[in-house]
Amino acid sequence: MGSNVKEYKCPACSSALAWDAGLGKLHCASCGNDFELDAVELLTEAEEAQQEFDWSAYKEGLTGETLDDTVTYTCRSCGAVIETSATTSATRCPYCDNEVVLTDRVEGGLKPNGVIPFKIRSEDLPGIVKDFYKGKRLLPRNFFQDSKLREIQGLYVPFWLFDGAMDGTMILNGSVSRSYVEGQYDVVETQHYLLERSGDVQFTHVPVDGSTKLSDDLMDSLEPYDFSELRPFDGAYLAGFVADRFDSDPDAELPRAQERMTNTASALIMNTAAGFAPQVRSNGMALHNAAVKYVLLPVYLINCEYNGQKYQYAVNGQTGKVVGELPISKSQKWKWFFGVAAAVCAVVTALGLFLQ
């Protein structure tokens, strides 16, 4: 094993703090603040204490065990804590691309219930990314030459899988209209109804990522995963990859899953009143029998820099689906706009003159 390092994050900007022997304090090179060691240690302990989650009720499905056959690295810059197998060495942070260091004094994280192993090989990624660029007409012409593709890192991202049943009653406003002619008038008669619908529906494996360092939208966009390939967790799956440790507990993420389930359950209920053009008057759908599991899902993160701006793409390590925001060339955009506008204008004008 390498050296043992205890990392402290700046309370102001979350950057790594360094010991300044001259001042006898911890110094933040990023924001320039100095902190007493005792104060920062107190703050760090308080933050760590907050991470002791309450595994009650719906969290009974979680293992409750800790990982003991992995090594832990911490990013010097963004503070990300990542884990990998003892045989794999990590050098760069998958999130911010900065250096990571071993911190084996950090206790092992929660052992996941399951893992979906990587199916996409890292050597296939250049071809997959190339396909992703295909057909992107607004991509800058020099993007391929000028963009710097950083190291592609295979990362197991922590996800919470929520199960549950939405059950309840919805009250809807509904209306049915018919038109007819009455003498010199067009009449529209609208019948108004109050609609009551009760029902239930069950959900399994609604995924919500448990990492605050990754954008929720980016992780949502990687769906779907095939959960039939979910395997019981084994540290051997981490060989050659790194795994992020969750930093957002299920209690914090449950509302996101609940919102998705509520929207879908409401839509199913409203479909039963489609002929009435329904509008929600009150929604009594509630979550019951909730359960959660902790899993690791395979993601490749690709960090790219173009014209001084950083772009991050993610690849579903199971299906090869690529998501991310590509840079847009203004000149390409205007070329397309004026090209199409001029062509349509010419055709319509010619047709108009011909038909006159």
Partner 1 sequence: MRNTKRILSLALCLLLVCALLSVAALADTTGALVEDSVGLLEQQELEYRDLQAKELQELGIDAPVIILPECDDPDAYAQSYIDADGWGTLTNGTGVMLLLVTPDGDSGNFYLYAFGNEGSRFDLEDLSERTSEYFQLGNFNTAIFEYLEYLKDFWVDATTVRPDLPDWYPEDVNSFEEFNDPDAPRLVDNANIINAYRYQEVLEKINAIRDKYGVDLVVYTDNTSYGFSRQLWAEDFFVFNGYGFGEALDGSVLFICMEPGNRGWYSAFSGKAENMIDSDTLNYVDDQMEPYMVNGEYTDGILAYLDALDYVYSHGHAPKKVGGPLAAGAALGALSGGITTGVLKSGMNKVKKATTAERYVRDGSFHLRSSRDVYLYSSYTRTRRSEERGSGGGGGGSSGFSHSSSSSGHSFSGGGRSF
146 binds partner 1 (CB under 8 A): no
The three-class DSSP label of residue 251 is helix
292 binds partner 1 (CB under 8 A): no
147 binds partner 1 (CB under 8 A): no
CB 26 within 8 A of CB 40: yes
Cα→Cα distances 269→170, 196, 236, 259, 295, Å: 8, 10, 45, 15, 31
Select 17 or 206, whichever has its Cβ closest to partner 1. 206
Structural tokens at position 304: 């790219």
The position carrying tokens 């990982």 is 67
215 binds partner 1 (CB under 8 A): yes
19 binds partner 1 (CB under 8 A): no
150 binds partner 1 (CB under 8 A): no
As measured in angstroms, the least distance from the Cβ of 63 to partner 1 is 22
283 binds partner 1 (CB under 8 A): no
Query: Which phi and psi (to 5°) does residue 30 adopt?
Result: -80, -50
Residue 7 identity: E
- Find the binding residues for partner 1 in span 72-111 (CB under 8 A): none
- Find the binding residues for partner 1 in span 240-279 (CB under 8 A): 257, 259-261, 263-264, 267-269, 272-273, 276
Select 106 or 201, whichever has its Cβ closest to partner 1. 201
Select 4 or 212, whichever has its Cβ closest to partner 1. 212
As measured in angstroms, the least distance from the Cβ of 223 to partner 1 is 6
Nearest residue to 15 (alpha-carbon basis) of 30, 37, 33: 30
Position among 24, 45, 107, 338 found at the interface with partner 1 (CB under 8 A): 338
CB 224 within 8 A of CB 116: no
Query: Which phi and psi (to 5°) does residue 312 adopt?
Result: -120, 130
Binding-site residue total for partner 1 (CB under 8 A)?
A: 80
As measured in angstroms, the least distance from the Cβ of 250 to partner 1 is 16
Q: End-to-end CA distance of the chain: give it in Å, rounded.
A: 85
Query: Which phi and psi (to 5°) does residue 44 adopt?
Result: -65, -40
CB 210 within 8 A of CB 294: yes
As measured in angstroms, the least distance from the Cβ of 245 to partner 1 is 23
Position among 101, 201, 252, 286 found at the interface with partner 1 (CB under 8 A): 201
